[in-house]
Amino acid sequence: VFNNTIYNSRQWGIRVSRGDTTGTWGHIYNNTITTNTIVTNGYGVGAHGGMLEVYDNVIHATNGRGIHIEGNNAKVHGNDIDVIEFTSSEYPRVSAHGIKLEGCANAEIYNNTILSKGYVVSPTQTSIGAALDFSVDVGSNNYIHNNTFTARHLGGPGFTSGDYNTMYATAIQALQTGNIDGNTGLRIEDNTFISNDRFFSSTEWAVVDGAEPDRIIDAQTISLARNTWIREPTALLLMKKDITFFQSSVSGLRFV
């Protein structure tokens, strides 16, 4: 799937779903995708099958997300992603994922440029910026390297700088990691992370009616090594925090 221009996607831009093949690579490349979603989970590209290579695409969301990876053995590189997502009556809080890994294994993510923006419409309508978002299992062995991830909070009419746990942008957002009894093998190395808010967040903002938190890193070894962390100056956000764990159980996380 290549050399297409998608002017206004209402949910997915390009979504490829196929079995976990080990025979033939699929390629999604050189596409220009603009998303303006009317429902949640609207991504520019969905790599939902084995052995998919997603590269050299431009994804710009005036309302939506970037690349979603569910298939194993994916290669995602050389993409330019700029996203913001707005809330709806169904989902009063959303996360504008730049790149999201969910349950995939042996993915390699490299040489991408990602900007994810947060915006607060009202105190109950919050768009979180999350440049890199992951929810992975034991033995996934995903490798994320040599990317530039930027998280920029734009504020908005309902923004309150003191509300740290619900109104934020983060370069990395860690979600529940599935099986909690072993090593994910997730390596995040040699990247540049830029933020005017926080760099790493495991924050449970989705608890509803007493439901159990689902934003958890527990007994999973995740290694972040040789990364560069750059604070983007802004007068917008006061008392900025680099790393936040809020209502989260965290262990096995290594910053090297």
Which range, of 11-15, 106-110, 180-184, averages the lowest pLDDT? 180-184
Q: Which of 175, 228, 224, 230 is nearest to 197 (CA)?
A: 230
Question: How confident is residue 158, by pLDDT bands cut at 50, 70 and 90?
Answer: confident
Query: How far apart are the C-alpha atoms of 77 and 87, rounded to whole Å?
Result: 29
Question: How confident is residue 209, by pLDDT bands cut at 50, 70 and 90?
Answer: very low
Chain centroid offset of residue 108 CA = 15
Instruction: Please report the DSSP string for the chain in residue order.
Output: -BS-EEEEESS-SEEEE----SS--EEEES-EEEEE-SSSS-EEEEEESSSEEEES-EEEEEESEEEEE-STT-EEES-EEEEE----SS-SEEEEEEEEEES--S-EEES-EEEEEEEEEETTEEEEEEEEEEE--TT---EEES-EEEEEE---TT--TT-TTTS-EEEEEE---S--SS---EEEES-EEEESSEEEEEE-----TTPPP---B-S--EEEES-EEEEPP-SS-SS--SEEEES--B-SEEE-
Query: How far apart are the C-alpha atoms of 9 and 175, rounded to whole Å?
Result: 27
Which range, of 56-70, 97-111, 119-133, 202-216, averages the lowest pLDDT? 202-216
Using a pLDDT cut of 90, give the percent of the chain over it.
Answer: 52
Query: How far apart are the C-alpha atoms of 200 and 240, rounded to whole Å?
Result: 12
Question: How confident is residue 18, by pLDDT bands cut at 50, 70 and 90?
Answer: confident
Task: Report, as an integer, the average pLDDT of 244-250.
Answer: 70
Flag whether the pTM goes above 0.75: yes
Question: How confident is residue 215, by pLDDT bands cut at 50, 70 and 90?
Answer: very low
Residue range 143-152, pLDDT digits in tens: 999 999 999 9
Which carries the bigger pLDDT value, residue 17 or residue 108? 108
Query: How far apart are the C-alpha atoms of 241 and 105, rounded to whole Å?
Result: 31
